[in-house]
């Protein structure tokens, strides 16, 4: 029995390690910075990209995918997503590494969109620009010359939840709805928030990184989510305001912890309140 237990423990550790490879370290990216099969994507807004960015990185700001309208953060249609990536030289045939300033929320959002669109090899730079600078890796202010390409991919609609899906999950004991916003927002105390979706639990996205901006170890992440009732056997729906902060937790749950059934409520709290969904504090 002890031997079987050891084998099982090693297997779980291996699986967690393999899934965690969807995060790329600054050292590993630096080794492939001149690899023609790689493309590095800054998910930051253009003014920040212009100040300083990873050498050879192209800029695809996370807000480029916000649909115009009264509800901020709704994802644009699939064909527009393909055009945005293609116009910026991003092809699904490449190994794509996405980063931001260090919060990992913007990088994770663009990485999540790439995954949703069917790109098979997508990584988030662990620790973002904070880790890159700490490792004294090459940066520049000069914009990267972009060669337009065609982005092909098949969207995975199973990654997205709608408002009706959230309502159904709230009434299902086998499901859990997770608010990824800061705890102050969840409680209606910060950022003009009126509270949270009634019945949702809170896992503040800031708590899943350490003081060096790196994603916490799998054991620590599992402890955080389990403490909020977010367990692997449940169907999980993540939300924030605009889908940005949820993406970081999506990466943590699916890629690092191997949760099998996780969706993002793309409309988020913005859509929920605009359409009269029940809220609580």
Q: Per-residue pLDDT tens for 200-230? A: 999 999 999 999 999 999 999 999 999 999 9
Q: Is the model more confident about 238 or about 7? A: 238
The tens digit of pLDDT for each residue in 71-112 reads: 999 999 999 999 999 999 999 999 999 999 999 999 999 999
Predicted TM-score (pTM) of this structure: 0.91
Strand ranges, E, within the chain? 23-24, 38-42, 53-54, 58-59, 95-99, 122-125, 139-140, 160-161, 175-179, 196-197, 201-202, 235-239, 262-265, 279-280
pLDDT per residue as tens digits for the range 186-204 = 999 998 999 999 999 999 9
Give the HSE-up count for residue 7: Cα atoms under 13 Å, Cβ half-sphere.
Answer: 4
CA-based end-to-end distance of the chain: 48
Q: What is the pLDDT of residue 13?
A: 39
Residue 12, pLDDT above cutoff 80: no
Q: Give the tens place of pLDDT for each residue, 172-181.
A: 999 999 999 9
* Strand 235-239 relative to strand 262-265, pairing: parallel
Looking at the chain, the whole-number percentage of residues with pLDDT higher than 70 is 93
Residue 15 has pLDDT above 90, yes or no: no
**pLDDT for res 21:** 52
Residue owning tokens 């800029």: 59
Report the candidate in 259, 20, 247 with the shortest Cα–Cα distance to residue 126: 20
Residue 53 is predicted with a pLDDT of: 98
pLDDT of the residue at 3: 52
Question: Is pLDDT of 37 > 70?
Answer: yes
Domains of the chain in start order, with CATH, are 18-140 (3.40.250.10), 157-280 (3.40.250.10)
Average pLDDT rounded to a whole number, residues 146-175: 96
16 confidence band (pLDDT: 50, 70, 90): very low
The arithmetic mean of pLDDT across residues 58-80, rounded, is 97
CA 183 to chain centre: 18
Summary mean pLDDT of the chain = 93
Has residue 148 got a pLDDT over 80?
A: yes
SS3 of the chain: helix, strand, coil, percent, to 5: 40, 15, 40
């Amino acid at each position: 029995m002890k031997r079987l237990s050891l084998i099982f423990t090693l297997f779980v550790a291996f699986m967690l390690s393999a899934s965690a490879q969807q995060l790329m370290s600054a050292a590993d990216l630096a080794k492939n910075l001149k690899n023609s099969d790689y493309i590095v994507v800054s998910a930051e807004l253009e003014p920040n990209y212009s100040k300083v960015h990873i050498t050879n990185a192209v800029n695809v700001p996370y807000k480029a995918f916000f649909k115009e309208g009264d509800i901020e953060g709704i994802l644009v249609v699939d064909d527009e997503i393909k055009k945005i990536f293609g116009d910026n030289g991003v092809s699904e045939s490449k190994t794509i590494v996405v980063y931001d300033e260090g919060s990992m929320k913007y990088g994770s959002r663009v990485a999540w969109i790439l995954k949703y669109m069917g790109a098979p090899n997508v990584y988030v730079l662990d620790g973002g620009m904070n880790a890159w600078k700490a490792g004294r890796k090459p940066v520049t202010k000069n914009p990267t010359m972009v060669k337009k390409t065609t982005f092909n991919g098949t969207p995975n609609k199973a990654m997205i939840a709608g408002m009706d899906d959230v309502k159904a999950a709230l009434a299902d004991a086998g499901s859990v709805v997770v608010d990824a916003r800061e705890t102050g927002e969840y409680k209606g105390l910060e950022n003009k928030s009126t509270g949270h979706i009634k019945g949702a639990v809170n896992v503040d996205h800031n708590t899943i990184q350490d003081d060096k901006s790196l994603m916490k170890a799998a054991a620590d992440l599992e402890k955080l989510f389990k403490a909020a009732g977010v367990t692997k056997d449940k169907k999980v729906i993540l939300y924030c305001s605009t889908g940005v902060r949820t993406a970081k937790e999506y990466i943590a749950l699916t890629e690092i912890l191997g949760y099998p059934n996780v969706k993002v409520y793309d409309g988020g709290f913005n859509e929920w309140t605009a359409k009269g969904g029940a809220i609580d504090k």
